[in-house]
Structure 1
Amino acid sequence: MKTSIKLLGLLSLSIIFASLSCKNAQEKKDTVVNATSVSNTTQETKGKITLLSPSEFKEKSKDHQIIDVRTPSEFKEGFIEGAKNINLKDDDFAKEITSLDKDKPVYIYCRSGHRSGIAAKKMIDLGFKEVYDLQGGILNWEQSNNEVKN
């Protein structure tokens, strides 16, 4: 009889703890859902960065704003036709980049893809809507047998 009472008490405590755990889990789930909703809203108001292969970049960048974020000396060594050089390392980068039309797509590249990734994030923070980044930079562009201008 004492064993039955102990088991019944233990079972009751287990049920109480289980129900409290479920309640806490539901509250945590609600918090995650709410955070996701806020995150989605933020992403909708910010712009979008898209990585493009050299063939996609070549096809889609025609008649658009193309920006080379390398140094002027790197730019002189060879650049993609139609590109404007706006050096990421220049103190006036933000000022120069905001002279572009923020509502039109911008295609950017650098030597290997690192600096253009940084530039793309800065551009989104400055209000640009669509930024397309050449994956692998001009090195990948040349390895894919695309032409560079001097």
Structure 2
Amino acid sequence: MVSIKKIIGFLFLSFILVNCDWDNKDSIILEPKVFSNHINKQNIQLVDVRTPKEHSKEYIQGAININYYSKNFADSLLLLNREKAVYVFCRSGKRSNKSVTKFKKIGFDTIYQLKGGFLNWKKEGFKIVTK
């Protein structure tokens, strides 16, 4: 017979797991509208961590392309100003989320991610540059 304590424990653990925010806690994730307001008002570093092929088709104005999959990714990040905030995005948000750890490791303190990545940015109708 299952005890009441086990049932309560299971329900509590289930509640915790369902309500956990699994996003990277070393960054702030912004909705496209807020992200747009930030990048349009400040002298910021906007980093597109998609591949050069993805970036060459379409991108957000002012974005610097640093390929997350490049073997020189971390070295390329060293070219950025670690004292300034960095705004990062990829296609869907997965690579940008993974990149936060690398940004933090080399000394970036203020990191913002675009929620849902470039796909969400486009879906919401924000301006893009196409080639």
Specify if TM > 0.5.
yes
Counterpart-to-counterpart distance in 1, 2:92 and 2:103: 18
Aligned equivalent of 1:88, options 62, 68, 72: 68
Bigger share in helix: 1
1:90-125 CA distance string (max 9 Å, x none): 011001111101110000000000000011121011
Aligned equivalent of 1:52, options 24, 27, 30: 30
- Does residue 127 of structure 1 match 2:107? yes
Letter of the 1:112 counterpart: S
Segments of 5+ residues of structure 2 without an aligned counterpart are 1-24
Counterpart-to-counterpart distance in 2, 1:97 and 1:109: 14
Q: Aligned residue pairs: how many?
A: 104
SS of 1:128's equivalent?
coil
1:63-112 CA distance string (max 9 Å, x none): 31000000000001110000000000001100111110111000000000
Counterpart-to-counterpart distance in 1, 2:117 and 2:77: 19
Q: Identify the residue that residue 57 of structure 2 maps to in structure 1.
A: 77
Q: What is the 5 A alignment of 1:1-150?
A: 48-62=26-40, 63-150=43-130
Structure (1 or 2) with the larger CA radius of gyration: 1
Larger relative CO (CA 8 A, sep 6+): 1 or 2?
2
Moved over 4 A (4+): none
1:7-52 CA distance string (max 9 Å, x none): xxxxxxxxxxxxxxxxxxxxxxxxxxxxxxxxxxxxxxxx941000
In 1, are the aligned partners of 2:26 and 2:101 still within 8 Å (CA)? Answer: no
Q: TM-score, normalised by structure 1?
A: 0.67
Q: TM-score, normalised by structure 2?
A: 0.76
